Amino acid sequence: MNIQSFESLNEQLKYNESCFLLLYKSGSEQSECAYNRLEALKHSGDSKILFADVNSVRDIHNRYNISSAPTLLQFDKGKVKNVFKGCQTESFYKSVIERKGFASFSADENGETPKQVTVYTTPTCTWCNTIKTYFKEKNVNFTEVDVASNPSRAEEMVKKSGQQGVPQTDINGQVVVGFDKNRINNLLDIN
C-alpha cells in the first residue's frame, strides 16, 4: 500500500499493531532494489508493508529523522521499533517481516540457533558503513539501529557498553565497540 502523507501513515498505524514502512526514492537503484524485494513479500507474515516515495511524500522522513533512502521502519503499536537502512537481501526482509526480528529465530537443521546481531550506527559514521559491508560480505544477518534518530535506543546502547561511540555491535549480549574484526569473527565463529 502506498502512503501519501504522514496523516495517512498515522491512520494505518491506528489499525495495524505491527507494520513496516519503506521510505524509498523512485529512480534510485538501491531504493528500487528494496522496493522490489519488499513488494514480493507483501503477503508474508501478519505485518502490513507500506511504501512512501520521498520524491512526493515530504512529511514522513523528517518526523523520524531519516536522511537516506531506502530505509525500512518497523512499527510496533505505533512506535518505531527498528530502522533498517539500504537494500537488504530478500531472506533478511523475510525473516524480519515473518518473525519480527532475529531474536525469534528458531534452531537451524544442525540444532544451532543463529546469533542475534544488532549494530548501532549513525548516518555519518564511516566505520559503521565498513562493518555493515563486512557483515553483508560474510552473510551475517543483522539489525541496524540508527542511534542519531532514535534517542531511546541510543540510551540503551550506552547502558550496554558505557560508551557513546559508534559503531557498536551487540552479538548475543556481547558488545563490541568499534570495528574489532578479530573479536567479531570470534563471537560469530567466522574463520
pLDDT, one tens digit per residue, over 92-113 is: 788 788 764 443 333 344 444 5
> What is the homologous superfamily of the domain 105-188 according to CATH?
Glutaredoxin (3.40.30.10)
Which of the 8 DSSP states describes residue 66?
-
Which of the 8 DSSP states describes residue 63?
G
Rounded distance between C-alpha atoms, residue 45 and residue 8, angstroms: 22
In tens digits, the chain (191 residues) has pLDDT values of: 899 999 999 998 988 888 899 999 999 998 999 999 998 887 766 678 999 999 999 899 888 888 889 999 888 888 888 788 888 877 778 878 876 444 333 334 444 456 789 999 999 999 999 999 999 888 888 889 999 988 989 999 999 899 999 999 999 888 999 999 999 999 988 87
Reported pTM: 0.56
Choose the CATH number for 6-100 among 3.40.30.10, 3.40.190.10, 3.30.70.890, 3.40.50.300: 3.40.30.10
Distance of CA 34 to the CA centre of its chain: 12
Rounded distance between C-alpha atoms, residue 78 and residue 20, angstroms: 10
**Distance (Å) of CA 169 to CA 27, 66, 68:** 32, 21, 21
Burial (CB count within 10 angstroms: exposed 0-12, middle 13-18, buried 19+), residue 91:
exposed
**Does the N-terminal peptide bond of residue 70 adopt cis geometry, omega within 30 degrees of 0?**
yes
Three-class DSSP category at 154: helix
